[in-house]
Structure 1
């Protein structure tokens, strides 16, 4: 029997406003869209829910506003079986929100209003150190203050907990952040920005991963959408192709991948096997609309045959 994964997620919790649109607008353009829905989201919460649905014991650190969205989001996380004790509810700040147009082919873009997410501080991490100490894997992203990301990574490393940094939205990071990161998981755009400082500079997966290695991370992994995943191996670069599925909505594809990777590693899979497991998880996530509603359950992943 596989050991139960023990995951701590430190990150954002948002309410997503998702609107169907025939195309993504360009600068200055107004596009007439279709229906919209409100869906629980936020990179941190997405990863927490995804890991919980994959069978992990999940603890989440975050901040919400004391507003209707905040109450809905907290109740939703609790219904998903996530330990929410480290989540603070604040009177002075609204809950985070994201505005997401999605095309018929599943493409999207996202604008985030962080709200209470930016009030998650290193003090919150210090108060919950015992929870982090007992984890197998710590997951962080960049929709919260960078000093809090650093505090979480520092605490995890202090207790020999595996750290995964999903550097989204991408921004300049200190050498110390990279050195505290066991595994970094950018997409191609984020990887180019971090490795070269310029998304207009075309780099191969090998060049991006080599650039991330030079920054001091333990291992670099690059998600490439329909082209699968490139990842660092002892001998060079390994590739896992994407599963062939009908894409409905790519929202939370990256978050589901990160959760799958974390759960796989916590269950003591080898790194390549954990990557392959994560690819299956993300493939299922893009076959349904919405962020958290699309996240697959473990039974579905175990029964899914990845068609390559």
Structure 2
């Protein structure tokens, strides 16, 4: 595809704008947050005034929507990312990795605000604590291209760019494009998008904060009333799901977890790609759960993202888990 390129300022943020000569075809457009991750392996969670030493250090790029975009690409799909990166060292590293992974970056904004940075403490068993610094980077208010001619299979939001996400969700609905929300926590973006999407994938934290109910099983019907399909992910305990009158659970695959950072992002990216590939609902859960499990076996959010062949081999070695709630479907 041939293109011409120039820069423009939109809402105080610089876009590298291409005058596209042909249609863009993307399986999954991922909209939201990108960050640079510094992961430190520690033996325990440090207490107040405690000096803690890290056993190892891993640096890689991350962020929910950006991780999901790389996941789609590694699994063999065509992905795009819409979000922000700074014109700094971390932003340049992230941009190069997105490009190397084959992620379309035509909707990526660059500016002088710093790239968001996450410091992650990874404890034995893969449990982690994330400290994110986003500074005062303003939210994006415009996209540099009219997407009406783009062929998009599905759109995945993480809620971190609400001002561009809501119009995209409304446009997707009018065009029959499936939409998904990675609802990690309650904030302006997730609250705006929750009733707008076809697949609401909530963390246990979001479900608890949104409904006020500590029990995920009690919270699920309230979430399911807002979207055609709703799920609550529970980490190593798998997930709960409800679709119309059907509901059930799906167990997590047992792996030796090294680092769980980004596992949810991988689940969301794989699930979105499965939607585009028109997988049945049981296969969607299996495919996304397997990809997420494999991502936990290496340190660093991006380092463990598997390819399609790796997921296929992993599933071939395992017995099919019990799909509770599916009956004979």
TM-score (norm 1): 0.88
* Conservation of the 8 A alpha-carbon contact between 2:73 and 2:103: yes
User: Which is higher, the Rg of structure 1 or of structure 2?
Assistant: 2
2:69 paired with 1:69: no
The structure that is strand-richer by fraction is 2
2:128 paired with 1:108: yes
Report the equivalent of 2:154: 137
Question: How many angstroms does 1:147 deviate by?
Answer: 2.5
Report the equivalent of 1:122: 141
3-state SS, counterpart of residue 128 of structure 2: coil
Report the equivalent of 2:118: 98
Q: Distance in 2 between matches of 1:56 and 1:265?
A: 11
3-state SS, counterpart of residue 46 of structure 1: helix
Change (3 A) 1:128 1:5: closer
Q: Distance in 2 between matches of 1:167 and 1:174?
A: 6
| Structure 1, gaps ≥5 residues long | none
2:201 paired with 1:189: no
Q: Distance in 1 between matches of 2:172 and 2:71?
A: 21
2:78 paired with 1:51: no
* Conservation of the 8 A alpha-carbon contact between 2:139 and 2:163: no
Aligned with residue 171 of structure 1, among 170, 174, 187: 187
Q: Deviations over 1:57-94 (max 9, x none)?
A: 1111111111111111111100001111111211x211
- Say which is worse superposed, 261-270 or 164-173, in terms of deviation: 164-173
Q: Superposition pairs for residues 1-308 of structure 1, below 5 Å?
A: 6-26=27-47, 29-90=50-111, 92-115=112-135, 118-124=137-143, 127-130=145-148, 133-142=150-159, 144-171=160-187, 177-196=193-212, 201-203=213-215, 205-214=216-225, 216-305=226-315, 306=318, 308=321
Q: Deviations over 1:210-255 (max 9, x none)?
A: 12123x2222111111111211133332211111111111001100
* Conservation of the 8 A alpha-carbon contact between 1:231 and 1:237: yes
3-state SS, counterpart of residue 142 of structure 2: helix
Q: Deviations over 1:154-207 (max 9, x none)?
A: 2322322111100124326687522211111112122111222xxxx421x331
Alignment length (residue pairs): 294
* Conservation of the 8 A alpha-carbon contact between 1:5 and 1:263: no
3-state SS, counterpart of residue 246 of structure 1: coil
Aligned-residue RMSD, C-alpha? 2.2
Question: How many angstroms does 1:261 deviate by?
Answer: 0.7
Q: Distance in 2 between matches of 1:174 and 1:291?
A: 22
| Structure 2, gaps ≥5 residues long | 1-24, 322-329
Change (3 A) 1:57 1:171: same
Q: Distance in 2 between matches of 1:173 and 1:65?
A: 21
* Conservation of the 8 A alpha-carbon contact between 1:5 and 1:55: no
* Conservation of the 8 A alpha-carbon contact between 2:161 and 2:189: no
Q: Distance in 2 between matches of 1:149 and 1:19?
A: 32
- Say which is worse superposed, 187-196 or 11-20, in terms of deviation: 187-196
Q: Distance in 2 between matches of 1:179 and 1:236?
A: 19
The structure that is helix-richer by fraction is 1
Q: Distance in 2 between matches of 1:175 and 1:253?
A: 23
